[in-house]
Structure 1
Amino acid sequence: MTDYGHDLRFGAFITPITARAEEVLSLASLAEREGLDLVSFQDHPYQANFLDTWTLLSVVAARTSRIRVAPNVANLPLRPPVVLARSVATLDVLSGGRVELGLGSGGFLEAIASIGGPSLTPGEGVDALSEAIDVIRAIWNTEGGPLHLQGGHYRIKAARPGPAPAHPVEIWLGAYKRRMLTLTGAKADGWLPSSGYAPPGELGGMNAAIDRAAEDAGRDPAEIRRLYNVEGRFGSGGGFLDGSPRDWAEQLAGLTLEHGMSTYTLMSDSAADLQRFAAEVAPAVRELVDAARARSAGATAGVS
């Protein structure tokens, strides 16, 4: 069993369609009212029918008071790391410490290049992401001196750090392949895959790669939060997230106890599904995981 003991969180992953802007904002407010912990949006600036993610996150943060907000995930090639770091820190300050940073290397290379972004290979994208994490954290560290970097992708000369975020913002990487998983283990605060690209049966091997990389970097693998964007339907099927809320809860609790996944964001634009996820699935997952953890703690105490 690989349960890292993280607190459980549940969230929403809402499509930022411009033509449905008011509905998008309404769903974000619903997520907070229903008790979800996180609301997030994809970031594809080359999509003309999508709202700009940072503008949207700012409006959502202004309309809410408790829920965390995050890009899922920010498109690094189109958001220079110094500017991104300052955008994140600014919104974190203005929202009272409610921002986290999902970050990716940019998966749609031709689309990025089509609007003036850099033309990178996948390998170059990973290298740039590794440099960018260092830049972002250095900008947030206001106790440090001017930042100098002569990297392969970012060359920064005497940049002053700041502003500092209101809380320790976590950097979560959307990662699937070996080099990205290695980078996640070496430098990230969290791993943020989607079930469509990383189905439950593949989580074990990916988690193992992250854990090995963390240990090689001198880190405890438990430092890295494991998040999961999931999609499904409430019904009577037998597949993953294709049944009753209790079926969903048992499957998600199993992923927590077996693979250490601890934040589940539902990819849905359905108010009814988000309500059921918050009201029926989330409490049941917490109950099942708490009970299993209590049994495990009791068994350990009995052995000692």
Structure 2
Amino acid sequence: MTDYGRDLQFGVFVTPSPDLLDNSYAIAEIADDQLDFIGVQDHPYQKHFLEAWAFMATLLARTDRVRVVPDVANLPLHNPAVLAKTAASLDVISGGRVELALGAGAFWDAIVAMGGPRRTAGEAARALREAVEVTRLMWSGERSVRYDGDFYGLHGVHPGPQPAHDMQIWLGVGGPKLLRYLGGHADGWLPSNSYFPPEALPAMSAQIDRGATDAGRDPSTIVRAYNVFGEIGDHETGDRFRGTVSQWTEDLTTLAVDTGMDTFIFGAPDDDLTQTRRFAEEVVPAVRTAVARSRGRH
């Protein structure tokens, strides 16, 4: 059992579909009023999706409080120096409401079809580590920075602007080496239940802790976010993330107090507005109360 005692955060996953714009804006309004995050997937090769960063900029412009995070940014199709500048620019414009989450890449045929590289798992992992280092340099406020990597380079560039707040870098990774790297060098972890079920999380989180400890960092400083795709219903089921508000409350509370996950980003079927409202109005306050009660007993 691992509970890092971090404040809970909640968000909603919004699909960047041109066919769902009015629905997306309605979800963003709910999130701005009651949640902490809006997560936006970044699949530039998907013809049915809007460009993620243009969409995120629009959501930021239509909201006042909620933070927005790419969930996760498609690194192979974005130069990390330009990506860092884009994220910092939106952070400045929005008054500090952007975090940056990076992914090593997947769907390589689609990436190649759009002019991107095809990378092996090892190459993708090394490129991701380099991108984190490039991003830190681009946010450093130094007069001039250089970086010589196998995949990315900076050659006397003048970085800026700096983010408006201490912007975090989250990684959507799952392998033990990258998890240990995250513990030593990144600020947050963003897996999804569709790839990593709850029973896989403790061992993965332990790798993050190991990397943090080896680097002299406090593991409790690292955000542990979880994309939870499911459905809130009126009848109990035997399936996780598909059932009543009480079932959802128990599932998320257990994740918080037993596995240390502290941020939950809900993905409703077809971005259903009623589901999103139930999550924000019924599940979130119930989980906050249950976790506070559990922590008070220890």
TM-score, normalised by the number of residues in structure 2: 0.96
> Does 2:170 match 1:172?
yes
* Secondary structure of the structure 2 residue equivalent to 1:119: coil
Whether 1:191 aligns to 2:177 is: no
> Is 1:128 matched up with 2:127?
yes
Q: Is the 8 A contact 2:12 2:267 kept in 1?
A: yes
Counterpart amino acid of 2:21? Answer: A
Any residues of structure 2 matched to 1:32-51 within 5 Å, and which? 32-33=32-33, 35-51=34-50
Q: Helix, strand or coil for the counterpart of 2:216? A: coil
Deviation string, structure 1 residues 191-242 (Cα, Å, up to 9, x no partner): 1000011101111111111111221222221121100000222232022122
Match of 2:151 in 1: 153
* Seq. identity, %: 47
Alignment pair present for 1:275 and 2:295: no
1:209 paired residue number: 207
Corresponding residue number in structure 2 for 1:4? 4
TM-score using structure 1 length: 0.94
Q: Quote the Cα distance in structure 2 between the aligned partners of 1:27 and 1:113.
A: 33
- Does 2:264 match 1:264? yes
Q: Equivalents in 2 of 1:123, 1:111: separation in Å? A: 19
| Deviation for aligned residue 1:79 | 1.1
How far has the Cα of 1:14 moved from its partner?
A: 1.4
Provide the rounded CA distance (Å) in 2 between the counterparts of 1:194 and 1:222. Answer: 20
Distance in 1 between residues matched to 2:287 and 2:275, nearest whole Å: 16
1:1-304 → structure 2 map (5 Å cutoff) = 1-33=1-33, 35-142=34-141, 144-235=142-233, 236-268=236-268, 269-296=271-298
Deviation for aligned residue 1:116: 0.6
Unpaired runs of at least 5, structure 2 = none
Cα distance in 2, alignment partners of residues 213 and 181 from structure 1: 7
Partner secondary structure for residue 261 of structure 1: coil
| Structure 1 range deviating more: 283-292 or 176-185 | 176-185
Partner Cα distance (1:163, 1:119) in 2:
31
* Contact 2:91/2:165 (<8 A) preserved: yes
Question: Which residue of structure 2 aligns with residue 299 of structure 1?
Answer: none
- What is the CA–CA distance in structure 1 between the aligned matches of 2:154 and 2:66, rounded to whole Å? 34
Q: Aligned partners of 1:291 and 1:36: how far apart in 2?
A: 21
Q: Is the CA contact 1:30–1:271 (under 8 Å) kept in the aligned structure 2?
A: no
Aligned mates of 2:103, 2:136 — CA distance in 1: 16
Per-residue CA distance 1:153-200 (angstroms, 9 max, x = gap): 112100112101110111111011222212221211001000011101
Q: Is the partner of 1:2 in helix, strand or coil?
A: coil
For the residues of structure 1 that align with 2:221 and 2:110, how far apart are their CA atoms? 34
SS in 2 for 1:120: coil
Partner SS, residue 39 of structure 2: strand
User: Which amino acid is 2:153 matched to?
Assistant: R
Query: Is the Cα contact below 8 Å between 2:212 and 2:218 reproduced in 1?
Result: yes
What amino acid sits opposite 2:162 in the alignment?
A
- In structure 1, what is the Cα distance between the partners aligned to 2:25 and 2:117? 32
Secondary structure of 1:148's aligned partner: strand
- Partner Cα distance (1:112, 1:146) in 2: 32
Count of residues paired in the alignment: 294
Deviation of 1:279 (Å): 0.6
Contact persistence 2:72–2:172 (CA under 8 A): yes
Deviates more, 1:201-210 or 1:21-30: 21-30
Give the SS at the match of 2:177.
helix
CA-based RMSD: 1.2
Quick one: distance in 2 between partners of 1:135 and 1:3? Answer: 32
Q: Distance in 2 between matches of 1:20 and 1:274?
A: 14
